[in-house]
Amino acid sequence: MLPRPGSVCARFFRLYHETRMGFRETATRPLYRFYENRLLATLDRDRLPRHIGVIHDGHRRYARSEGLPDYQASYRVGMAKFVEFLNWSDELEIPAITCWLLSKENLARPDEELVPYYEVLMELFEEIPNATTEHDVGVRFIGSLDLLPADLQAAAKRLEERMPNGDRRVTIALAYGGRQEIVDAVKDLVAELCAEGTEDVEDRIDADGIASHLYTADLPDPDLVIRTSGEARLSGFLLWQSAYAEYAFVDVYWPAFRYVDFLRSLRDFTRRTRRYGK
């Protein structure tokens, strides 16, 4: 049982964890820097993905494995890693990333897990503009945001308004479900056809029509989908768009995801021969 967030015990464990992580980082950083530089030197930049999808999995298991005081502590570590990841992607000139920070199914979790996560997400949305000032990034949200608390919806809207456009596109999926996205796309397509007075509507419902009404219709389909925590499944993430994507299932939990893990995923992607179902 994890200590209650904000308690004296929780604060003590957080300080202990941060100190331990600092020692670990100091001891291993030179080795990882050498490996990162080696990977960067051999990375074929011309074959990098144009669009990366990321499933940020493993926060709760990370909290338990690291002896953190509460799940909120691991959420904060994970969202700090999210900001790092934005900068890594920008430095490598990845044009678009789509990050799944909350699934629609996650909304069934108990309030004692969701409320602390909502608080961390709101902190993240306030921090992103300050943390990406050196990069030209536009942010938008997809998913059933109307199911979220009003203050979280407002924080997401403020972020979109502060960062509406950019050479790099960051899409954040909240209360998102891949099946729901396809349902919404079909509904929108049918409504459009009916409004046009189209006859034989069923004959006009095709793959191109559905694709044009997806949440990410203005983005290229993801070339690479990364999932952390060792789980080898998509769980409904970008179901339609990722039909021909390549996948990287990384063993580490998201809060422990390192630049070297990202570079290895990109290296493996550049070495693959994509067949697009052929």
Catalytic residue numbers, as ranges: 57, 106
The 8 Å CB, 24+ separation contacts for 246-252 are 246/49, 246/272, 246/274, 248/224, 250/226, 252/58, 252/228
Nearby residues of 249 by Cβ (< 8 Å), 6 or more positions away: 227, 230, 231, 232
Nearest-angstrom CA–CA distance, 162 and 230: 35
Nearest-angstrom CA–CA distance, 93 and 268: 18
CB 173 within 8 A of CB 147: no
CB 61 within 8 A of CB 108: no
Q: Decide: residue 166, CB within 10 A, 0-12 exposed, 13-18 middle, 19+ buried.
A: middle
Q: Which residues pair with 172 in a beta bridge?
A: 99, 141
145: helix, strand or coil: helix
Which amino acid would we find at residue 90? Answer: D
Which amino acid would we find at residue 121? Answer: L
The two tokens of residue 249 are 């299932």
Backbone phi, psi, residue 264, to 5°: -65, -40
